[in-house]
Structure 1
């Protein structure tokens, strides 16, 4: 079943620009250092927005342009969940949060605002007020440092969730 796109005419996808190493459009808030790693079907990137006092969370995205959950096939959907788990475990190792949360949005009424599927992975702390505070920008330098920390944690825990022949590209 085909669903209509909600992307405006001439939309320049910020996640595709990042993954394809293209020149960023004027509205792209991503930075090259936001890419933590990628596999054949999914990538982990630092989000440029923070929610709550601790800032810094990750988004798991398909490596090809797919707009919503409805567009994911089983291979890509499985890859998204595998990388969501890998990143949550890396967060536990790198940042020692008290927990983790994930969330994902579809279509305008579902609060989607980037027209490329993305699964948020948040480190959680009892006082983080994640769902009660407004979004804020996380500086590129902070995101780059957090991406480095997660990359190191992923490298040290790579083996448990790797599929035969799977390659992580850092």
Structure 2
């Protein structure tokens, strides 16, 4: 095996708690309103942290508990990339950023902190200082508002790959 799990024994996965309507463990920073949408294979959720001058980026996560990039099957990996594109385009509609960026981390040395795969999707602005690592918490209220804005954009007729009711799991 080329990698080993870094997930601690008795790990309580915050993303699995959110997706499976489980009670949240004390360290879980997610909120129910963070869930933007869910398909059979992946979900889009608001991140609890912002970077630089802005808050509000999205994480695309598999609905199955998969720790890292190495654990993704082809179908899930493809679904993650497709939904990354869909969310980036929704950000353009909802927030009109100057651009978008994505990134993903594996293992502690790769800066992974949650032991459930997640692809970050960031709206980008000229003064956002994303790569200066000025991380800060984003309030649950701000995240909920932004999730609603993105959900609206994702279902908008203007979105070239808009979501439909048949795409999402309720």
TM-score norm. by structure 2 comes to: 0.94
Corresponding residue number in structure 2 for 1:138 = 138
User: In structure 1, what is the Cα distance between the partners aligned to 2:156 and 2:71?
Assistant: 32
Aligned equivalent of 2:104: 104
Q: C-alpha separation between the residues in 2 aligned to 1:24 and 1:106?
A: 24
> 1:79-100, CA deviations, whole angstroms, 9 ceiling, x for partnerless residues?
0000000000000000000000
The size of the alignment, in residue pairs, is 170
C-alpha deviation, 1:52, in angstroms:
1.2
- What is the alpha-carbon root mean square deviation over aligned residues? 2.1
C-alpha separation in 2, matches of 1:100 and 1:58: 11
* SS at structure 2 position matched to 1:121: strand
Is residue 92 from structure 1 mapped to residue 110 from structure 2 by the alignment?
A: no
Q: Residues 59-118 of structure 1, C-alpha deviation per residue, up to 9 Å, x if partnerless?
A: 000000000000001100000000000000000000000000000000000000000000
Runs (4 or more) in structure 1 with deviation over 2 Å come to 157-163
Deviation at 1:168, TM superposition (A): 1.7
Structure 1, residues 16-36: CA drift from partner, whole Å, max 9, x if none?
Answer: 000001000010000000000
- Give me the TM-score of the superposition, normalised by structure 1: 0.94
Task: Find the residue that maps to 2:56 and give its secondary structure.
Answer: coil
- Runs of 5+ unmatched residues, structure 1: none
Equivalent residue for 1:14? 14
On the 8 A contact 1:18/1:24 being kept in 2, the answer is yes
Please give the alpha-carbon distance, in whole angstroms, between the structure 1 residues aligned to 2:84 and 2:157.
14
What is the deviation of 1:44?
0.2
1:13-92 → structure 2 map (5 Å cutoff) = 13-92=13-92
Q: Secondary structure at the match of 2:131?
A: coil
Question: Is 1:122–2:122 an aligned residue pair?
Answer: yes
Q: How far off is 1:3 after superposition?
A: 3.4
Measure, in 2, the Cα distance between the counterparts of 1:148 and 1:101. 21
Counterpart of 2:4?
A: 4
Which ranges of structure 2 fall in alignment gaps of 5 or more residues?
A: none
